[in-house]
Amino acid sequence: MSGAATATVELAIVHGTEAVAGWAGGHVVIVDRPEGRAGGMGLGFNGGQLLALAIGGCLANDLRDVAHDLGVALGDVRIGVSLDLAGDPLRATGAEISVACKTTDGSDPQPVIDRALAGSTVANSVRRVPCRRPGRAGAAASV
């Protein structure tokens, strides 16, 4: 497939714990369960938190990419992601995304936000997880 990109990570046990370290290049994250759950020590993020971080982190990068493409300078950017989990086995059933950002010139950031949400790699990859943006008309959207 031409133009395809690949993201590769590796994970290995953190000796002396039941947590794992995950890395890509020089970046490392610790993955664990809450303290007391199946040997977890609460040393790092759990899977649900990592999925929420992936959705929000990817969107944060996409906001910057879109702003750059549109020639818009962004100031403060804040993103919150709440992941709904249910079922057996447990799976993500929804995500609520809040985005607050300002442009440095005071212009409306909404076109940047809308375009970033539409093109966000992780959100598009988990399309079956409905993402909601509270407080907006038509807030329920499959992103």
Q: Evaluate whether 134 touches 127 at the Cβ level (below 8 Å).
A: no
Task: Give the separation between CA 136 and CA 86, rounded to whole angstroms.
Answer: 25
Looking only at the bridges linking them, the beta strands covering 140-141 and 20-24 are unpaired
User: Tokens 């879109």 — which residue?
Assistant: 66
Query: pLDDT tens across 12-45, in order?
Result: 999 999 999 999 999 999 999 988 888 889 999 9
70: confidence class by pLDDT, cuts 50, 70, 90: very high
Model-level pTM?
0.82
Query: pLDDT tens across 94-133, in order?
Result: 899 999 999 999 999 999 999 999 999 888 888 665 666 7
- 93 is written with which tokens? 């059933």
